[in-house]
Amino acid sequence: MSNNIEALPSILDMCCGSRMFWFDKQDERAVFSDIRSEEHTLCDDRRLVIRPDLIADFRALPFADDSFPVVVFDPPHLERVGDNAWMGKKYGKLNKETWRDDLRDGFAEAFRVLWPHGVLIFKWNETQIPTREILALTDEKPIITQRTGKNDKTHWILFVKGKGND
């Protein structure tokens, strides 16, 4: 394990966006990371604020191996969304040509920075891409899943990193 364990918070949110599912959006136990930092006014005049603690690409995280006991991975799940659509602003957008490689790399990075026996909390909405296609992008096997949301399209999936999964 990393020598700087005490210096880092215990949770990494790799794609925090607006931190929408966090009880405490300023939770000091977490490092909130995202590739973008921006603000938008939505059509109903609400503000969408994406302000990560750290600007970073989930495909190449700036942390040492085995840095966190808990990682949250809620990547963009839409590949077909307009440039000015509020869904794209809120959730981000997948690259149509590279999304499989991007998410495969994201899983690899999540497990790389996760402690052995650490927990990965993965969230996916299968409105456009079925969850089975996403789970095929990692060799890790999930242990728990829960479907939620409209028509049960959102999947919360829990993984535990094995001891020798380098």
3-class DSSP string for the chain:
CCCCHHHCCCEEECCCCCCCCCCCCCCCCEEEEECCCEEEECCCCCEEEECCCEECCCCCCCCCCCCEEEEEECCCCCCCCCCCCHHHHHHCCCCCCCHHHHHHHHHHHHHHHEEEEEEEEEEEECCCCCHHHHHCCCCCCCCEEEEECHHHCEEEEEEECCCCCC
The structure's pTM equals 0.89
Every domain of the chain and the residues it spans: 5-160
Q: Does the domain formed by 5-160 have CATH 3.40.50.410?
A: no
Encode the chain (166 residues) as per-residue pLDDT tens digits.
Answer: 444 445 678 999 999 999 999 999 999 999 999 999 988 887 788 888 999 999 999 999 999 999 999 999 999 999 998 877 878 888 889 999 999 999 999 999 999 999 999 999 999 999 999 999 999 999 999 999 999 987 899 999 999 998 654 4
